[in-house]
Structure formats: structure tokens, C-alpha cells
């Protein structure tokens, strides 16, 4: 029996999904196809060499490296540009007022604004009296 290339394997799996739709019936069919290909195609398996030295690994990595959407963005701003900083008497810093102001907390709870140069205890006494509280866990 002739060995299948990785492109042929992807084609078979894609065809299986597209002709049957993604339903619970497809999973056993895909498992059967993958199992049959694994048994019938020794070159698709890592033999005595490590996985990264196989032709299959090289082919898959080559295809994945062509996808520009993988790991091309950041989720956080650089630290110095995070939006939760406040000006305190000690200088620029991050505190509970800044964290809550830039979180989901304010979606559901009012929050006393932080005044430039304010002490934390002063803010907390005002925030607490206006209903701010630490979430219960």
C-alpha cells in the first residue's frame, strides 16, 4: 500500500468534515480514518528518530509557519502604558483604585474617583462609604 503525504491526510480529513458536517457521527469516522492511516503509513510515524526529525513534523511545521495569525499580537500594553496607574503622594503607582477603575468592577459597581496626590486610606474611606467593597470569594 502506498504511503499518504500529510497534504493527502489533511485533504481526507477536510473532505470528511465538509461532506458530513461537524456532528457527533463524524468523530468516529475521523478516528477510524486517522487510525487506518497510522497503521497503513509507517512514514507518518516517528520510528527510531525523535518526532522533530520526521518528514511529517517538517511538513506540518512548514504549513503552520505559513499561517500569519499565530503569535503575532500582544494582549497587554507595555507595563509603563498600563491604564491603572494613579498619581499618589509617593508618585506614580498602581493601587486598588486604579485596578478597579480599569476592570469589570465598574461595570456593576460605582467607584469613588481617585484624586491626584490622594492617600490610599483617604480614598478607601470615601469609596467604602459609597458602597465599594472587596469581592467575596
pLDDT per position as a tens digit, 20-43: 455 555 566 666 777 776 666 665
**The model's pTM:** 0.42
- At 137, the pLDDT band (50, 70, 90 cuts) reads very low
Count of other CB atoms within 10 angstroms of residue 91: 9
Whether residue 1 lies inside any domain: the answer is no
Tell me what the pLDDT averaged over the chain comes to.
75
Q: From the CA atom positions of the chain, what is the Rg in Å? A: 28
Does residue 97 sit in the same domain as residue 121?
yes
Whether residue 136 lies inside any domain: the answer is no
Give the number of C-alpha atoms closer than 13 A to the C-alpha of residue 19, restricted to the C-beta side: 8
Average pLDDT over residues 59-72: 78
Whether residue 70 lies inside any domain: the answer is no
Average pLDDT over residues 60-71: 78
Does residue 83 sit in the same domain as residue 120?
yes
Does residue 10 sit in the same domain as residue 40?
yes
Find the distance separating the first CA and the last CA of the chain, reported in whole Å: 61
Whether residue 105 lies inside any domain: the answer is yes
User: Bigger pLDDT: 48 or 51?
Assistant: 51
Domain containing 13 equals 6-65
Q: What pLDDT, on a 0 to 100 scale, did the predictor assign at position 1? A: 46
Amino acid at each position: 500500500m502506498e504511503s499518504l503525504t500529510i497534504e493527502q491526510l489533511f485533504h481526507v480529513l477536510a473532505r470528511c468534515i465538509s461532506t458530513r458536517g461537524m456532528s457527533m457521527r463524524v468523530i468516529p469516522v475521523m478516528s477510524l480514518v486517522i487510525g487506518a492511516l497510522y497503521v497503513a503509513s509507517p512514514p507518518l510515524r516517528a520510528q527510531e528518530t525523535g518526532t522533530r526529525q520526521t518528514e511529517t513534523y517538517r511538513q506540518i511545521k512548514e504549513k503552520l509557519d505559513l499561517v500569519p495569525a499565530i503569535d503575532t499580537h500582544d494582549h497587554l500594553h507595555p507595563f509603563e502604558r498600563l491604564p491603572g496607574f494613579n498619581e499618589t503622594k509617593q508618585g506614580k503607582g498602581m493601587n486598588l483604585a486604579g485596578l478597579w477603575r480599569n476592570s469589570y468592577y465598574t461595570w456593576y459597581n460605582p467607584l469613588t474617583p481617585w484624586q491626584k496626590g490622594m492617600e490610599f486610606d483617604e480614598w478607601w474611606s470615601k469609596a467604602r462609604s459609597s458602597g465599594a467593597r472587596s469581592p467575596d470569594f
